Structure 1
Amino acid sequence: MASVQTVVRVGIADMNIAKSPQTIRTSGLGSCVGVVLYDSSKKIAGMVHVMLPDSELGKSTKLNVAKFADTGIHAMLELLKSEGVRPFSIKAKIAGGAQMFQFGSNDTIRIGPRNVEAVKKELKRYSIPIVAEDTGGSSGRTIEFDPDTSTLYIRTVNAGTQEI
Structure 2
Amino acid sequence: MSSNILFVSNESGKAIFLTSNDVLVKSFCSLSNTCSSKDSCRSCSLIGAAKNHLRGTRSGSNIKPLDGELSAGIGEYKIGRNVLLKVMGLGSCIGVILSDVSTGICGIAHVLLPGASDKGETKYAETAIEKMFEDMVKIGARKSRITAKFAGGAQVFKHMSLDVLKIGDRNAVSVEETLIKKNIPILAKDVGGNVGRNVIFNPADGSMIVKYTAKGEVLWL
After TM superposition, the runs of 4+ consecutive aligned structure 1 residues lying more than 6 A away are: none
The residue number in structure 1 matching 2:93 is 32
Distance 1:45 1:105, change over 3 A: same
1:88-107 to 2 correspondences below 5 Å: 88-107=144-163
Give distance in 1, aligned partners of 2:121 and 2:135: 12
Give distance in 2, aligned partners of 1:139 and 1:34: 14
Q: 1:65 aligns with which of 114, 121, 139?
A: 121
The residue number in structure 2 matching 1:51 is 112
Residue-pair matches, total: 158
User: Residue deviations 1:39-86, cap 9 Å, x none?
Assistant: 011112101110000235x8xxxx462200111110011111111111
Is 1:80 aligned to 2:95, yes or no? no
Q: SS at the partner of 1:66?
A: coil
User: Residue deviations 1:70-120, cap 9 Å, x none?
Assistant: 111100111111111111111000000011113453111000000000000
The residue number in structure 1 matching 2:175 is 119
Any stretches of 5+ residues in structure 1 without a counterpart? Answer: none
- How high is the sequence identity, in percent, across the aligned residues? 35
Give distance in 2, aligned partners of 1:2 and 1:74: 32
Give distance in 2, aligned partners of 1:26 and 1:142: 6
Distance 1:130 1:2, change over 3 A: farther
Give distance in 1, aligned partners of 2:198 and 2:189: 13
The residue number in structure 2 matching 1:163 is 220
The residue number in structure 2 matching 1:8 is 70
Q: SS at the partner of 1:84?
A: coil
CA RMSD of aligned residues (A): 1.6
TM-score of the superposed pair, with normalisation by structure 1: 0.90
Q: Is the 8 A contact 1:2 1:23 kept in 2?
A: no
Q: Is the 8 A contact 2:91 2:197 kept in 1?
A: yes
Q: Is the 8 A contact 1:40 1:147 kept in 2?
A: yes
User: Residue deviations 1:96-152, cap 9 Å, x none?
Assistant: 001111345311100000000000000001001110111111111111101121011
- Which structure would you say has the larger Rg? 2
- Structure of greater relative contact order (alpha carbons < 8 Å, 6+ residues apart): 1
**Residue type matched to 1:38 in 2?**
S
Q: SS at the partner of 1:67?
A: coil
